[in-house]
């Protein structure tokens, strides 16, 4: 057996064969995503405690941070007025009091006299030495000390279920240590030496030992870097392999460059805009990329990224015309009915006189229209179909679907995108998003996509002034709104809508609508829109707003995406603390679309948390979606925002997708390897192939589209 084969066999062996793990523990570990030994090693500490120096209690000094190991003598709640929980700890040199001011119930059940504790914290003096709310750990006996003290100690992410079976940090250390000892015997690696050398990465064994039981903080970081690289490298290798598979497959449609329809559309736009209309340079460039890609014989799989209001819809329409001119049908799928209607509205207006049949096919289409539409989609008379999830219903049959566009694609799962694509014979796919994320990250999250970016706004956009308005200034704000409406502008007032509390949110929006219509703005025309309205009612309200029959539109966040009413220049966002950054950015993107100056006002009647204040400061200080997305990544972390799971990718344990530097390196080298050796068949790639297969074989399905 080659040495790496033995190592791989060990690394990918089931956790249940490890020393100290019985069936119960194995079950919980697997539920937490730890299937094999390598997963266990990739379950990395969330932080470390420096227990290198153990100070005898007798030598403690006030004000220093110290680590002490001692025995519990007694414990309990004391104090009448200021109740607190005390533990008296003793070693050969003296005694120390640990004190907590909360969490009594939990603490009472925790200790027994005679327990050995390792304690870290800042030393105070109050009737002798005292540490309040220390980091502490119960060490079962003096033998255990070797793993848990006198060194830098790993503290792992803990979950209730892991704790329940004794796999808190101490328990995990006790199984990781011997597993690591085994690995040290085998001495082999999951990355070839050439790669390690190129990027200055630690060997596997060293990386794991320094990640879990580091000699110092710097070497822990080195360990992380190696594991992060490995994780990203194999992920990118998978993506590269998928991309090669797609682009070497010649089964797609090769569309000729459109000649007629695009020109007609631009003529229409010139009419609408009074002769002055021009695509932005970014739109032109992106369209060039798309048409080139559509001309190729393999299916296109492209992400179009552009900030809110950058003109993606127009690019999407021109893309669809490319398919239509070649005799195919095109579909546009949007996440909400309102957005689908909005796109339908734009398409009908823009394609006037071009003799292209289109239909908006949503859940609220009448049953007669529905039957009719289904028929004409199936026989090919209807060329452009706009809809929501309705497009992937079973009954929906296309005659010749050549292109599918998916708007706000992060709202759809991989499976839904794949189902739409399955409605045709390898149609070209264009997915669009307004969530601006770094390019490498986008390509990683969205799989093997190619990326086009619109990085320029159409000309003549008015600026948006954004401000937080304190309670006492509301009256003034309403007066301002009134004067703007009198000057001919329109406004949005937005309420949050979170699913769990949907009912009460709806009530809030309705009640405010009542109050605004009767008490505050009785002389103005108000409209109400929310998710519980029927589709036709929603459309009527939207239409009235678009036509200017409504001055102020009050709504829940259903207006978040896609609305395009350039005359609307004011947005008031209520309960701003309940919105995320990117949501605020999307919402605000509804205004600032015309030549008039726009205003976005943020309101709250709560005491704001630190995070809320941060978000508000960011949104007030910039309109740049890229900066906002980066701040959002920093506050929330990428997992929560983009959920790698949803994208059909394996979960990352070590790497941080915000680390675009390592991600870039990993991606570049992985793609280089695959382009040189598509199927990893060369002898020097043997290791890569084996690891790749083992890493992903049972974790993710190779999905058709990412
Ligand atoms: P996105 O979908 O990227 O958020 P939209 O496609 O809705 O943006 O475009 C926003 C607005 O800008 C629309 O009113 C659209 O008609 C207009 N627009 C798009 N491209 C141009 C352009 N080249 N010049 C002027 N206005 C444009
Ligand atoms: Mg859009």
Most distant pair of Cα atoms in the chain: their distance: 94
Percent of the chain with pLDDT over 70: 91
Of 83 and 226, the structure prediction assigns the larger pLDDT to 226
Residue 312 alpha carbon, nearest atom of ligand 1: 3
Check if 313 has its Cβ closer than 6 Å to any atom of ligand 1. yes
Indicate if the pLDDT at residue 502 is higher than 90. no
Give the chain's domains with CATH numbers: 3-48+159-230 (no CATH), 53-150 (2.40.50.140), 261-294+311-433 (3.40.50.300), 464-623 (3.40.50.300)
The number of angstroms, rounded, from the C-alpha of 405 to the middle of its chain's C-alpha atoms is 21
Tell me the three-class secondary structure of 88-152, residue by residue.
EEEECCEEEEEEECCCHHHHHCCCCCCCEEEEEEECEECCCEEEECCEEEEECCHHHHHHHCCCE
- What values do phi and psi take at 379, rounded to 5? -90, -5
Helix (H, G, I), strand (E, B) or coil at 249: coil
Pocket test for ligand 1, best of 280, 305, 308, 313 (most atoms within 8 A of CB): 313
pLDDT at 339: 83
| Predicted local distance difference test score (pLDDT) of residue 618 | 93
Cβ within 8 Å of residue 594, ≥6 positions away: 461, 462, 566, 567, 569
Residue 688 Cβ contacting ligand 1 at under 6 Å: no
- Read off the DSSP letter of residue 666: H
Centre of ligand 1 from the C-alpha of residue 109, in Å: 63
**What are φ and ψ of residue 632, in 5° steps?**
-65, -45
Residue 136 or residue 641, greater confidence: 136
Distance CA 232, CA 590 (A): 37
342 Cβ below 6 A of ligand 1: no
CA of 489 to the centre of ligand 2 (A): 22
What strands lie across the sheet with 94-100, from one edge to the other? 124-125, 129-132, 94-100, 84-91, 65-78, 116-122, 135-139
C-beta of residue 561 within 8 angstroms of C-beta of residue 480 = no
For residue 439, the model assigns a pLDDT of 67
What's the CA-to-centroid distance between 313 and ligand 1, angstroms? 7
**pLDDT value at position 253?**
92
For residue 313, how far is its CA from the centre of ligand 2 (angstroms)?
Answer: 5
Handedness of CA 439, 445, 448, 451 (dihedral sign): negative
For position 342, what pLDDT does the model report?
A: 83
439-448, 568-577, 681-690: least confident range: 439-448
Is the beta carbon of 202 within 6 A of some atom in ligand 1? no
Query: How confident is residue 637, by pLDDT bands cut at 50, 70 and 90?
Result: low
- pLDDT tens digits, residue range 51-79? 788 899 999 999 999 989 888 999 998 88
pLDDT at 658: 66
Distance 532 CA to ligand 1 centre (A): 29
**Ligand approaching nearest to the C-alpha of 307:** 1
- The backbone torsions φ and ψ at residue 600, rounded to the nearest 5 degrees and listed phi first, read -120, 125
Ranking 176-190, 284-298, 642-656 by mean pLDDT, the lowest is 642-656
User: 585 in ligand 1 pocket by Cβ < 6 Å?
Assistant: no
Select from 579, 620, 416 the least CA-distant residue to 495.
Answer: 579
Residue 194 has a pLDDT of: 94
Highest-scoring range by mean pLDDT, 143-152, 454-463, 491-500, 684-693? 684-693
Decide: 458 in ligand 1 pocket, CB within 6 A: yes
pLDDT beyond 70 at 9: yes
Nearest ligand to the CA of 304 is 1
Q: Is the CB of 283 under 6 A from ligand 1?
A: yes
Ligand closest to CA 313: 1
The reported pLDDT for the residue numbered 141 is 62
Q: What is the pLDDT of residue 462?
A: 72
In 381-501, where does DSSP find H-type helix? 414-421, 439-445, 474-486
312 CB under 6 A from ligand 1? yes
Helix (H) / strand (E) element for 61: namely none
Q: What's the chain's average pLDDT?
A: 86
The stretch 280-286 carries a mean pLDDT of 96
Alpha helices by DSSP H, 474-596: 474-486, 502-515, 535-547, 581-588
Would the CB of 625 count as within 6 Å of ligand 1? no
- pLDDT of 561 higher than 60: no
- Check if 419 has its Cβ closer than 6 Å to any atom of ligand 1: no
Q: For residue 702, name the pLDDT band (cuts at 50, 70, 90).
A: very low
**In this structure, what DSSP letter does residue 298 have?**
S
Using the predicted structure, report yes or no on whether residue 105 has a pLDDT greater than 50. Answer: yes
Indicate left, alpha or beta for 103 from its phi (over 0: left) and psi (-120 to 50: alpha): left
Q: pLDDT category, 108, cuts 50, 70, 90? A: confident
- Which pLDDT value is given to residue 640? 47
Q: Which of 309, 311, 593 to mutate to test the pocket of ligand 1 (most atoms within 8 A of CB)?
A: 311
CB 334 less than 6 A from any atom of ligand 1: no
Atom 27, ligand 1: which residue's CA is nearest? 458
Residue 322 has pLDDT above 90, yes or no: yes
Q: Which atom of ligand 1 is nearest to the CA of 306?
A: 3
Token pair, residue 224, equals 């992380």
Q: Given pLDDT bands bounded at 50, 70 and 90, which one contains residue 703?
A: very low
Q: Residue 306: CB within 6 Å of ligand 1?
A: yes
Instruction: Report pLDDT for 647.
Output: 53
* pLDDT range class, residue 704, cuts 50, 70, 90: very low
Instruction: Please tell me the distance between residue 314's alpha carbon and the centre of ligand 2 in angstroms.
Output: 9
- Residue 562's pLDDT is 55
Q: How confident is the model at residue 611 (pLDDT cuts 50, 70, 90)?
A: confident
Grade residue 3 by pLDDT with cuts at 50, 70 and 90. low
Q: Residue 488, Cβ neighbours under 10 Å: how many? A: 11
Q: Which residue has the higher pLDDT, 328 or 244?
A: 328
Q: Is the CB of 453 under 6 A from ligand 1?
A: no
**Minimum-distance ligand 1 atom for the alpha carbon of 346:** 16
- Among 90-94, 324-328, 372-376, 494-498, the minimum mean pLDDT is found in 494-498
CA 497, CA 596: separation in Å to the nearest integer? 29
Mean pLDDT over residues 398-413, rounded? 87
- In this structure, the residue with its CA closest to atom 24 of ligand 1 is 458
pLDDT given at position 124:
92
Give 538 Cα–ligand 1 centroid separation in angstroms. Answer: 23
Residue 287 pLDDT level (bands cut at 50, 70, 90) = very high
Q: What is the mean pLDDT of residues 516-523?
A: 94
Predicted local confidence at residue 82, as pLDDT: 78
Contact by Cβ (8 Å): 111, 75: yes
Sign of the torsion angle spanned by Cα atoms 215, 217, 218, 224: positive
Pick the residue with more confidence: 234 or 186? Answer: 234
Distance (angstroms) between ligand 1 centre and the Cα of 588 equals 15
Is the CB of residue 588 below 6 angstroms from any atom belonging to ligand 1?
Answer: no
Of 445-449, 487-491, 663-667, where does mean pLDDT reach its minimum?
Answer: 445-449
pLDDT of 641 > 60? The answer is no
Q: Report how far ligand 2's centroid is from the alpha carbon of 587 (Å).
A: 12
Question: Which residue puts its alpha carbon closest to atom 10 of ligand 1?
Answer: 309
Looking at the predicted structure, is the pLDDT value of residue 392 above 90?
Answer: yes
**Position 155 confidence tier, pLDDT thresholds 50, 70, 90:** confident
pLDDT at residue number 207: 97
What is the Cα–Cα distance from 365 to 535, expressed in whole angstroms? 8
Q: What is the pLDDT of residue 272?
A: 82
Q: How much is the pLDDT for 705?
A: 32
- Which of the two residues, 566 and 250, has the higher pLDDT score? 566
Question: What confidence category does residue 1 fall into, taking pLDDT thresholds of 50, 70 and 90?
Answer: low
């Amino acid at each position: 057996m080659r040495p790496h084969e033995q190592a791989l066999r060990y690394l990918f062996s089931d956790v249940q064969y490890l020393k100290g793990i019985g069936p119960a523990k194995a079950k919980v570990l697997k539920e937490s995503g730890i299937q094999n030994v390598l997963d266990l090693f990739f379950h990395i500490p969330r932080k470390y405690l420096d227990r290198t120096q153990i100070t005898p209690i007798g030598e403690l000094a006030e004000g220093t941070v110290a680590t002490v190991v001692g025995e519990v003598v007694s414990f309990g709640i004391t104090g009448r007025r200021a109740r607190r929980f005390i533990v008296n700890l003793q070693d050969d040199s003296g005694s120390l009091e640990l004190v907590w001011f909360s969490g009594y119930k939990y603490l009472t059940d925790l200790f027994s006299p005679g327990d050995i504790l390792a304690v870290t914290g800042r030393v105070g003096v109050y009737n002798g030495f005292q540490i309040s709310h220390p980091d502490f750990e119960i060490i079962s006996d003096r033998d255990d000390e070797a793993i848990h003290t006198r060194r830098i100690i790993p503290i792992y992410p803990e979950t209730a279920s892991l704790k329940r079976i004794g796999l808190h940090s101490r328990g995990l250390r006790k199984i990781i240590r011997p597993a690591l000892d085994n690995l040290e015997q085998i001495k082999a690696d999951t990355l070839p030496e050439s790669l390690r050398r190129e990027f200055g990465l630690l060997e596997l064994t060293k990386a794991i030992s320094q990640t879990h039981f580091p000699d110092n903080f710097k070497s822990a970081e080195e360990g992380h870097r190696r594991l992060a690289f490995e994780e990203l490298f194999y992920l990118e290798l998978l993506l590269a392999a998928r991309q090669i598979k797609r682009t070497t497959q010649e089964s797609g449609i090769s569309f000729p460059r459109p000649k007629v329809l695009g020109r007609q559309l631009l003529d229409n736009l010139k009419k609408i805009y009074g002769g002055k209309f021009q695509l932005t340079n970014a739109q032109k460039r992106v369209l060039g990329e798309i048409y080139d890609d559509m001309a190729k014989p393999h299916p296109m799989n492209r992400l179009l990224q552009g900030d809110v209001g950058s003109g993606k819809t127009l690019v999407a329409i021109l893309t669809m015309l490319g398919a239509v001119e070649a005799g195919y049908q095109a579909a546009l799928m949007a996440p909400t009915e309102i957005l689908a209607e909005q796109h339908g509205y734009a398409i009908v207006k823009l394609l006037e006189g071009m003799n292209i049949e289109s239909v908006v096919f949503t859940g609220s289409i009448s049953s007669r229209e529905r039957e009719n539409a289904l028929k004409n989609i199936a026989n090919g008379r209807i060329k452009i179909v706009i809809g929501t999830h309705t497009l992937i219903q079973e009954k929906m049959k296309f005659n010749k679907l050549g292109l599918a566009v998916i708007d706000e694609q992060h709202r759809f799962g991989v499976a839904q995108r794949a189902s739409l694509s399955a409605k045709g014979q390898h149609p070209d796919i264009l997915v669009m998003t307004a969530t601006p994320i770094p390019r490498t990250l986008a390509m990683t999250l969205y799989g093997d996509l190619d990326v086009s970016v619109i990085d320029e706004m159409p000309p003549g956009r008015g600026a948006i002034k954004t401000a937080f308005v304190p309670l006492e200034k509301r009256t003034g704000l309403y007066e301002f709104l009134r004067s703007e409406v009198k000057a001919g502008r329109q406004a949005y007032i937005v309420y949050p809508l979170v699913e769990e509390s949907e009912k009460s949110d709806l009530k809030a929006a309705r009640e405010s609508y009542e109050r605004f219509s009767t008490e505050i703005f009785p002389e103005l025309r108000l409209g109400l829109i929310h998710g519980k309205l029927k589709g036709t009612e929603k459309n009527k309200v939207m239409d009235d707003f678009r036509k200017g029959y409504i001055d102020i539109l009050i709504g829940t966040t259903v207006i978040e995406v896609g609305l395009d009413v350039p005359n609307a220049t004011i947005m008031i966002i209520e309960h701003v603390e309940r919105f995320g950054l990117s949501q605020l950015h999307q919402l605000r993107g509804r205004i600032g679309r015309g030549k008039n100056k726009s205003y976005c006002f943020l309101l709250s009647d709560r005491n704001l948390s630190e995070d809320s204040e941060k978000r508000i400061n960011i949104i007030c200080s910039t309109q740049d979606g890229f900066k906002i997305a980066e701040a959002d990544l920093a506050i929330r972390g990428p997992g929560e925002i983009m959920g790698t799971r949803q994208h059909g990718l394996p979960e990352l344990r070590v790497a941080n997708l915000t680390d675009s530097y390592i991600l870039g390196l990993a991606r570049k080298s992985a793609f280089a390897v695959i382009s040189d050796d598509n199927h990893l068949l060369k002898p020097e790639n043997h290791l890569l192939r084996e690891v790749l297969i083992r890493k992903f074989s049972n974790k993710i399905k190779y999905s058709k589209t990412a």
